[in-house]
Structure 1
Amino acid sequence: MVKANPVTKEDVLQAVTECDVKFIRTQFTDTLGMIKSWAIPAEDLEGAFKNGVMFDGSSIEGFTRIEESDMILMPDPSTFRLLPWRPKEGAVARIIGDVYRPNGKPFEGDPRYVLKQAIAEANKLGYSMNTGPELEFFLFGLDEKGHPTTNLTDKGGYFDFAPLDKAQDVRRAIDFALEDMGFKIEASHHEVAPSQHEINFRFGDALSTADNIVTFKYVVKSIAYHMGYYASFMPKPLFGVNGSGMHSNQSLMKDGENVFYDPDTPDQLSVTSKQYIAGILKYIREFAAITNSTVNSYKRLVPGYEAPIYCTWSASNRSSLIRIPASRGLGTRIELRCPDPACNPYLAFAVMLRAGLEGIKNEMEPPASTDVNVFKLTDAEKQARGIESLPGSLKEAIDLMAGSEFVKNVVGDHVFTNYLKAKNAQWDEYKAQVHQWELDTYLSIL
């Protein structure tokens, strides 16, 4: 009998035989979070577990130079999943791997390795991180050639149902596919903007959750396309409506207990949780280029669309960057509201976790909770409270990251250098373009 989610090499090889798997799609992400994948015959999987799969790292964004291009992908058996939308006869599965150099050492440019290093730092202090993301996305129409458009597929709003939510069948098919792949779906619904959706899955440890985010985006896009839709995780594809975020709930566990919970304080939040919050607030501007990684990300972080702009925290205010949901006990957690689904989840969780740990190690104290609508405060009032803003553009964010020893220490020299190089190139390309707004505003008057 095949286990639902095999975790050992032996389990996986048994599943491959019993489920008639013919091909395995090996996967990893590049520095920017793009999935890289190629298929190997099922009969080669046992050898891949032993020796890895060789590939050319010089062709991957942010990996290696041409003269040091050989890389090895070592499949992680715990990530093996059947692709439920593919035929059951001659089935196809996917597996995520870790990238190594030919000398057997982990490749320091592998985002999954960066997160593993952050997790190891937490483990040294006796902590493990749980995180639960809330990913939003749009379902758009395809043109006659099958190319993506921004044509709306419905005019529904928050929690709307058919007939306003016309894509509910697509979302239901996505839910079923995710459940078949071992996800525990906690909520699936239409979001605020037309054609916008959200599917939340159960929290888990940081590495498994980052793997799940990569899988989630892959599944959503695949199912949507098979059903004639295009799923976009672009943070702000439409002007005038809400963008898509990836609110990131997180907590720390120690000896089976949630260390963010303290029943003896007025708000039932522990000193450790406040220190963790303080660490994130201290470094958030420096790592925003990772949690909000595109030019388009900063078009979501503007007033009027429920996205956070100001570096504050609160247990009762959704305008704050960090919100404390009402759950207590094992459910005590913080919710960082700025990340968006375009980020590389491995790097994003790494910088969040390490920032929180810095707060704990250095016993930082956060500013007072901001329990008023920050958007209604005047500039003078924000200044008096010491409230800073998130970066207003990718350029501001990458300049802040470039001067951050904290981010450099977390992601390592290789990722730090190559990530900034790629993002500066994106910004330079963007700023050289002539955009439609400029033509609409200036062409007829200048």
Structure 2
Amino acid sequence: MSVQQILKTIEENSIMFVDFRFIGLNGGVHHITLPVSEVNEETFENGVAFDGSSIPGFRGIEESDMVMMPDTESAFVDPFTLHPTLNIMCNIFTPAGERYDRDPRSIAQKAEEYLQKSGVGTAAFFAPESEFFIFDDVRFENNMNSSFYSVDSEEAAWNTGRKEEGGNLGYKVAVKGGYVPVAPTDAQQDIRSEMVRIMEETGLKVERHHHEVATAGQAEINFRFSTLTTTADNLIKYKYIVQNVAKQWGKVATFMPKPLFGDNGSGMHVHSSIFDGDTPLFYEKGAYGNLSKLAMNYIGGILYHAPALIALTNPSTNSFKRLVPGYEAPVNLVFSKGNRSAAVRIPIAAVSPKGCRIEFRTPDSTANPYLAFAAMLLAGLDGIKKGLDPVALGYGPFDKNIYELSDDEKKEIRSVPGTLEEALDALESDSAFLTESGVFSEDFIANYIAFKRNEAKQVAIRIHPHEFNLYFNV
């Protein structure tokens, strides 16, 4: 979309404000809003200034001036604002006109440019399955002398005996019993459909929605794949719509991986493939999973670099509350066709040559999608470059239920890191696959690790309520 088309959209939709948005290190969206009287062609040529020192992990106060440069292809009319508003994603530049190397969106674009320069293919396609919970109430507090959290849902298993409903009607979702039931057990059909309606109005192509496995309102909505940066933009839009529709309905949506103890957490399984023009490069009829050698090398790169990769795809301390055996969590660094206990799954049902892809099941939605998708692509390309054979490296294929293997058999399988700190250690020792291409700078990696280690420390030094159960009367 050209600048002239943007200005025409503003006029045709009686737009009163233009919201310029950018992505922080943690994947959070920040914005500055201009009235249309201040928006013209020069706005798109010169950008919108902001204070980079006020964004965590971005810039020191002595070099705080930064510029948002609008990407007109990302524009959509905001479905939630009282006054007609056009939203536009931006890339971050320095005042000297240089692309800022800590801008996640620019990193995603550089990864796409690197793919094209590599000669492997022309485009990488991504499709995330981002799960979430819809709660009716959430409360939490952390003080010097107290710490607690509490979430509640009308359909939660723990509410079978609740009286406050004015007559409990039952129809609660059992623990691990929430996969695709119909109403009245599924109490959230209409709210998910409303989310889908608005997603489609804003340009997302939605394929389906359904209740997920966990009790208390776990949900999933799948939107159509696209190229790397566009998919990351779409995921940001998706989360924005989910959270705002939930708020309109008097509920709250969270993409936190593990808000409930004892039931499935929320993941973000990521499908990816590489094309050369219109030719899919991952397909080879009759091979294992109908995957080409190039696709197998891509899997080899993903699994070989997985411990470091997970620092970007599962970048929260809460991520590792989900990555434990027994809750369909993909903790085993192996690949398999159709097997959901493997970190890398090869979908084989109703797959065409162009639909042939790999599914990395470990990530979750605390990931900054621009960083996560870029890092996945670079890990896969490193596997292609070095000819990493996942079979020779001992990554499978494993076509058994890995959770049911004996302890001796499990010893042969490498697992994901057990904590965020372990993942950051892995990234610290294995980051060349990200930096050698120039997509991620060494400064970015060092800054990211320091930023995330501080998060881990903030959790580690705080007193956990369960410690009172374990130690108070010792």
Does the TM-score normalized on the shorter chain lie above 0.5? yes
1:189 aligns with 2:215: no
**Residue of structure 2 equivalent to 1:419:** 448
Q: 1:391 aligns with which of 417, 424, 427?
A: 417
The match for 2:131 is 136
Could you tell me the TM-score, scaled by structure 1's length? 0.94
Offset, 1:255: 2.4
Shift of 1:316: 3.1
The corresponding residue for 1:54 is: 49
Shift of 1:373: 1.4
Residue of structure 2 equivalent to 1:353: 377
- The 1-side partners of 2:108 and 2:289 are apart by 31
The residue aligned with 1:382 is 410
2-structure distance, mates of 1:298, 1:407: 24
Q: How does 1:3-82 map to 2 (within 5 A)?
A: 7-46=1-40, 47-82=42-77
Q: Structure 1 residue 57: deviation in Å?
A: 0.4
Q: What is the match of residue 164 of structure 1? A: 185
Q: Which amino acid aligns with 2:402?
A: V
Partner amino acid for 1:96?
A: M
Structure 1 distance, partners of 2:139, 2:457, is 33
Distance 1:427 1:371 in 2: 35
Give the match's secondary structure for 2:179. coil
* Aligned-pair CA distance for 1:407: 5.5
CA distance in 1 between counterparts of 2:421 and 2:274 reads 32
- 1:110-149 equivalences under 5 Å are 110-124=103-117, 125=119, 126-142=121-137
Where structure 1 has 5 or more consecutive residues not aligned to the other structure, the ranges are: 1-6
Match of 2:87 in 1: 94
Instruction: State the Cα distance separating 1:149 from its structure 2 match.
Output: 5.4
The reply to whether residue 337 of structure 1 matches residue 366 of structure 2 is no
Q: Does the alignment pair 1:277 with 2:299?
A: yes
Q: What secondary structure, in the 3-state scheme, does the structure 2 residue paired with 1:105 have?
A: coil
Q: One-letter code of the match for 1:161?
A: V
Offset at residue 143 of structure 1 (A)? 6.5
| Counterpart position of 1:3 | none
How big is each residue's C-alpha offset from its partner over 1:366-386, in whole Å with a ceiling of 9 and x where there is no partner? 1231111112223422334xx
Task: Please tell me whether the aligned partners of residues 320 and 419 of structure 2 are also in contact (alpha carbons under 8 angstroms).
Answer: yes
The one-letter amino acid of 1:180's match is E
Structure 2 SS opposite 1:37: strand
Partner of 1:370: 398
Equivalent in the alignment of 1:406:
432
1:264 is displaced (CA, Å) by 4.8
Question: For residues 47-82 of structure 1, what are the alpha-carbon distances to aligned partners after superposition, in whole Å with 9 as ceiling and x for unaligned?
Answer: 321210000001112111111111000110011101
Among all aligned residue pairs of Structure 1 and Structure 2, give the percentage whose two residues are the same amino acid. 39
Q: Are the counterparts in 1 of residues 139 and 150 from structure 2 also a CA contact under 8 Å?
A: no
C-alpha spacing 1:400/1:266, structure 2 compared with 1 (3 Å): closer
Deviation string for 1:215-242 (max 9, x for gaps)? 1111111111111011100000000111
Number of aligned residue pairs: give it: 433
Q: Distance in 2 between matches of 1:143 and 1:379?
A: 39
User: Is the alpha carbon distance of 1:144 and 1:313 closer, same or farther for their aligned partners in structure 2, counting shifts above 3 Å?
Assistant: closer
Which one-letter code corresponds to 2:361 in the other structure?
R
Q: Which amino acid aligns with 1:26?
A: F
Whichever residue aligns with residue 201 of structure 1, its letter is F
Which of 426, 429, 436 aligns to 2:458? It is 429
Q: Provide Cα deviations, 1:394-434, integer angstroms capped at 9, x if missing partner.
A: 11111111222336515212321221111111111111111
Q: Is the 8 A contact 2:378 2:434 kept in 1?
A: no
Aligned equivalents of 2:100 and 2:293: distance in 1?
A: 37
Distance in 2 between residues matched to 1:328 and 1:180, nearest whole Å = 28
Aligned-pair Cα RMSD in Å: 1.7
Q: Which shifted more, 261-270 or 294-303?
A: 261-270
* Structure 2 unpaired stretches of 5+: 141-148, 156-171
Instruction: Report how far residue 312 of structure 1 moved.
Output: 0.2
- Do the aligned partners of 2:123 and 2:277 also contact (CA within 8 Å) in 1? no
Partner of 2:314: 292
Q: Say whether the 8 Å CA contact 1:141–1:228 is kept in structure 2.
A: yes
| Structure 2 SS opposite 1:340 | coil
Checking the alignment, whether the CA contact within 8 Å between 2:138 and 2:151 is kept in structure 1 is no
Counterpart of 1:140, as a letter, is F
User: Is contact 2:270–2:360 with CA below 8 Å preserved after alignment?
Assistant: yes
Call closer, same or farther: CA 1:222–1:149 in 2, change over 3 Å: farther
TM-score (norm 2): 0.88
Partner of 1:442: 471
Give the secondary structure class of the aligned counterpart of 2:237.
helix
CA distance in structure 2 between the partners assigned to 1:375 and 1:288 by the alignment: 21
Structure 1 window deviating more from structure 2 (69-78 vs 368-377): it is 368-377
Shift of 1:127: 3.1
One-letter amino acid matched to 2:296? K
- Using a 3 Å threshold, how does the CA distance of structure 1 residues 159 and 208 change in structure 2: closer, same or farther? same
Match of 1:4 in 2: none
Structure 2: distance between partners of 1:123 and 1:288 = 25
Q: Which moved more, 1:77-86 or 1:333-342?
A: 77-86
| CA distances 1:284-310 after superposition (whole Å, capped 9, x unpaired) | 111211100100000001111111111
